[in-house]
Amino acid sequence: MKFGGTSVEDAAAINRSCHIVEQRLPRKPFVVVSAIGGATNNLLEAGALAARGEIGKAMEIAERLEKRHAELLESTAEQFIRLRELLKALGAIGEFSPRTQDLVASYGEVLSSLIFADRMKRLGFDAVHVDARQCLITDDRFGKASPIVDITTVRLEEAARPHLNAGRVVVMGGYIGATSTGVTTTLGRGGSDYSAAIVGATLNAEEIQIWTDVDGMMTTDPRIVPTAWKVREISFDEASELAYFGAKVLHPLTVLPAVEKNIPVYILNSRKPVGTGTRITREARPCRNLIKSIAVKKGITVLTVSSSRMLMAHGFLKALFEVFDRHRTSVDMVATSEVSVSLTLDSLSSLDAILEDLRPLGDVEITSKAALICLVGNNLKYTPGVARRAFGSLPDINILMVSHGASNINFSFIVDEKDATTAVQRLHADFFNEIDPEVFEPAG
């Protein structure tokens, strides 16, 4: 059972989440919690300020965080003494490296998991806190570490199994881990979902529950379309495509450990614990609607590399993608012609260095402020008329790039960011004009 930041944001939310755990005590729950809402951003902001020499502002943030956590658990002072010492050290060094960012950010989950375990005990339940840094062992790619499965499996079994067998609730912070030498790491933003899936797969759980503040996966973002429907059931493949292409309900890597062990994942609302949420399984039930959901990812940059050397040449794409490999930057979408390649990026952290390495290969054109729209549904690759129907809804919107056929369940295209909201609203009105009640239900 994973509880997100809004499910542990204050005393009322923590109590509510604890009672959700209570209802599942016979099923031996293992609880993974995120930092309390907003804490990770606050911690990283404090670290950045300290490294810039603005130690006073950094300490003000630490003080606000301590006050907020102390209201939930009095015995957090020791953690905040260490945090302040770390901030002072950052002020002296003047650098906020990825390794130190992970260490600063880890305080959020360490504190929230201690608070949750304490609250379970106060409510009269047998609970034990397990430090994720002792169990979830990763490589040293700070900011986006990957678990070392065999060591993590052994450590989790040793740390958790005896407690679970004895009927105790095990509580662990998500998002964080450590290298085999004990250096703190994080799994990337939103990584608590991933932590829960790793634990679930390692311990062969019956199911993995992701408790959040929404009713489940939706036919699109309800902030864009308030009448969006809840998806009752969806396949692992469809859910991972939606997560990767902008649906914020689930971390993109969450489903991978679950897929390998074929463990169903549920998206549930901690504010409405009696709801059925969304069930994610290997084989979802057939759906009369052509698509299940529309995801949108804004802030996309399109790079187009043009060179006459591409014509009838081999090795050009290899040289091109080696640039992105060197800078550890993933590409979402690719389109090629005889003399040019267009591709999309959603991370601009290494853009200047990437451009410098691309220019020897050809002319580079940049289109910023684009949006990727992704339609997800079963068997789209072999369904005639998908593109005609989608683009028929958007006669006055320019389509910059298209990807169709690379995936059986995904039809994606790029539009200007200013057109994204209108495009999603029109597409939703068309594709969900009638709905399959076996697969969709009203939200709320």
* 3-state SS, residue 320: helix
Dump strand ranges (E) for 85-181: 127-130, 169-173, 176-178
- pLDDT score at 426: 97
Segments forming the whole domain that contains residue 53 = 2-213
My answer on whether 209 and 300 are in the same domain is no
Beta carbons of 95 and 52 less than 8 angstroms apart: no
- pLDDT score at 247: 63
365 in any annotated domain: yes
My answer on whether 97 and 185 are in the same domain is yes
Tokens coding 400: 């910059």
- pLDDT score at 315: 79
Beta carbons of 374 and 246 less than 8 angstroms apart: yes
Measured distance CA(259)–CA(208) in Å, rounded: 11
Question: In percent, how much of the chain has pLDDT > 90?
Answer: 73
Measured distance CA(21)–CA(23) in Å, rounded: 5
Q: What are the φ/ψ torsions at residue 112 (nearest 5 degrees)?
A: -65, -35
Q: What is the mean pLDDT of the chain?
A: 92
- pLDDT score at 313: 66
Where residue 303 sits, what CATH number does that domain have? Answer: 3.30.2130.10
279 in any annotated domain: no
287 in any annotated domain: no
283 in any annotated domain: no
Q: How many residues does the chain have?
A: 444
Number of domains within the chain: 2
pLDDT surpasses 80 at 312: no
For residue 382, which amino acid is it?
Answer: Y
pLDDT surpasses 80 at 120: yes
- pLDDT, tens only, 380-418: 888 888 889 999 999 999 999 998 867 788 899 999 999
Where residue 17 sits, what CATH number does that domain have? Answer: 3.40.1160.10
Band of pLDDT at residue 189, cut at 50, 70 and 90: confident
| Last residue in a domain, options 213, 232, 253 | 213
Tokens coding 270: 């901690």
Band of pLDDT at residue 8, cut at 50, 70 and 90: very high
157 in any annotated domain: yes
pLDDT surpasses 90 at 378: no
- pLDDT score at 285: 83
Beta bridge partners of 437: none
Q: Residues 155, 158, 163, 164: is their CA dihedral positive or negative?
A: positive
Measured distance CA(166)–CA(160) in Å, rounded: 10
| Last residue in a domain, options 149, 181, 213 | 213
Band of pLDDT at residue 32, cut at 50, 70 and 90: very high
Band of pLDDT at residue 346, cut at 50, 70 and 90: confident
- pLDDT score at 443: 80
Measured distance CA(219)–CA(201) in Å, rounded: 28
Average pLDDT of the segment spanning 324-333: 88
pLDDT surpasses 90 at 239: no
| Last residue in a domain, options 213, 241, 258 | 213
Instruction: Give the position of tokens 């599942």.
Output: 24
pLDDT surpasses 90 at 70: yes
Instruction: Name the least confident of 28-37, 99-108, 263-272, 301-310.
Output: 301-310
Report the 10 Å Cβ neighbour count for 211: 27
- pLDDT, tens only, 247-305: 667 776 777 888 889 999 999 999 999 888 999 988 888 899 999 999 998 999 999 99
* DSSP calls for 54-105: -HHHHHHHHHHHHHHHHTT-STTHHHHHHHHHHHHHHHHHT---HHHHHHHH
Question: In percent, how much of the chain has pLDDT > 70?
Answer: 98
My answer on whether 193 and 307 are in the same domain is no
My answer on whether 207 and 353 are in the same domain is no
- pLDDT score at 384: 85
Q: State the DSSP H helix or E strand holding residue 46, giving kind and residue range, or none if neither.
A: helix 39-51
- pLDDT score at 260: 87
Residue 352: which region, alpha, beta or left (left: phi > 0; alpha: psi -120 to 50)? alpha
220 in any annotated domain: no
Measured distance CA(323)–CA(313) in Å, rounded: 18
276 in any annotated domain: no
Instruction: Name the least confident of 114-128, 189-203, 308-322, 382-396.
Output: 308-322
DSSP 218: B
pLDDT surpasses 90 at 68: yes
108 in any annotated domain: yes
Average pLDDT of the segment spanning 102-107: 97
Average pLDDT of the segment spanning 132-152: 96
Higher pLDDT, 244 or 173: 173
Instruction: Name the least confident of 144-153, 192-201, 236-245, 390-399.
Output: 236-245
- pLDDT score at 246: 64
My answer on whether 150 and 299 are in the same domain is no
